[in-house]
Each structure stands twice: as structure tokens, then as C-alpha cells.
Amino acid sequence: MPTLKLTYFDFHGGRGEPARIALSIAGIEFEDVRVRFPEWAALKPLTPFGSIPTLEVDGEVLAHSNTINRYVGRLTGLYPEDALQAAFCDEAMDAIEEATALVSATMGIRDPIALKAAREALLEPLTRALRNIDRRLAARGDFLADGRLTVADLKAFVWLGDLASGRLDHIPANLCEEVAPHLHALKGRVADDPRVRGYHARVRGAAT
């Protein structure tokens, strides 16, 4: 197994959390580097694309969250072997990443009126993204690919958790529940997976 160092912000959400969950539930050892927001400005220029997560693999630094999710998915058995199922997994991750980028683009807006306008303008494309992914999930069964938990479901789980967290002002926390019932059910299914429950129990234990 390669030596792994995953670097991401110090919260349980966002683009780096799916890889943390995947590695943790597979019992694969990794250095879990957590960046506090005030540290980010100094670290940013040292990253390959000015972004985290990054995953260092035996000294080689990988960037871009879905690249990392896929690599980690292979290490952990949480990525399909079959090419078409792998494409279903990839497509869901690409679709979620596209929707994530919309929200990310509003994260730096400081002016409250501009933030409100930007977030309200997101509701229509976010709703569309949720509905589109929901329709794919409905056609595919209980999981986004391969009939079992993959990194795509972990990415969906973390994304939907972020949307429902109440941390995103002007995005109704119940948006997914309202417009994407299959995704909402998937979120519950992932949360109830014994491996994911074990991860959250360990995380909560470590935090106390």
C-alpha cells in the first residue's frame, strides 16, 4: 500500500471528505492533514492548482477531488471494476462536482446583498442538478453505480450533507428532500451503512 497524505480543510464536508471516509472505512492508513482556514492563504500557492484536497501518494501530489476519489476508490474497492458501471460512478461524481462549483463560486462573497442575490440565482440550477442526478439514481437502483456503495455515493452523501447543513445561507436546508426524493433516501442509506456509522462514531469520539 502506498504512503498516503490527504490534505483538506478541517471540517466534515466539502470536496475532501469523501476520500477521508473511503480510506477510513476501508481501514487504509493515511496522514489526515487538516488545514485551518487562516492557514490556507500561505498553503494555496504551494498546491499544484491552488486548491485542496490534495493526496500525496508516495511523494507524488494529486489534485482535483474526483481524481482523488477515483484513485482512493480503486485502493479501497469502492470504485467499480466494470467499465460501464465505472462510467456511471464517474458521471455522478462529475455532475455533483459541477453543482459544487456553482456553490463554491459564491463562497467568497462578503457583501450580504450580493451573497443573497448570488445564492438565490443558484436555486434554479441546483434544483435542476438535484433532479437530474435523482432521475439517474432512480433508474439505477439503491446506489449510483454497481448496485453497492461506491465513492460516488460517498460524494453525494457529503454534498447533500453540506446542502442541508444550514451553513449555506439562502439555500433552503430541505432543498434535496423537496426536489430529489431518491437522493434524499440515498443520503439516509449511506449514513446508516455500518461502515459509515463506525466512521462517524470514531470521528465524534476523537472530537470529544
71 part of the interface to its own copies, by CB under 8 A: yes
Establish whether the linkage from the previous residue to 125 is cis, with ω within 30° of 0.
no
Pairing of β 4-9 and β 31-35: parallel
Across the beta sheet with 54-57, the strand order is 31-35, 4-9, 54-57, 60-63
Region from 127-135, 154-162, 165-173, 192-200 binding its own copies, contact rule CB under 8 A: 127-135
* Other beta carbons within 10 Å of 2: 13
Region from 19-27, 58-66, 166-174, 189-197 binding its own copies, contact rule CB under 8 A: 58-66
114 part of the interface to its own copies, by CB under 8 A: no
185 part of the interface to its own copies, by CB under 8 A: no
Task: Out of 135, 148, 197, 200, name the contact with its own copies by CB under 8 A.
Answer: 135
Minimum separation from the CB atom of position 139 to its own copies (A): 9
Task: Out of 39, 44, 87, 165, name the contact with its own copies by CB under 8 A.
Answer: 87
Closer residue to its own copies (CB): 135 or 204? 135
Minimum separation from the CB atom of position 34 to its own copies (A): 22
Name residue 61's beta-bridge partners.
56
Region from 28-36, 113-121, 131-139, 193-201 binding its own copies, contact rule CB under 8 A: 131-139
Task: Out of 7, 20, 23, 90, name the contact with its own copies by CB under 8 A.
Answer: 90
136 part of the interface to its own copies, by CB under 8 A: yes
Segment holding 19, helix H or strand E: helix 17-25
Closest by CA position to 163, among listed 141, 184, 186, 132 = 184
Q: What is the DSSP string of 100-148?
A: HHHHHTTTT--SHHHHHHHHHHHHHHHHHHHHHHHHHHHHH-SSSSTTS
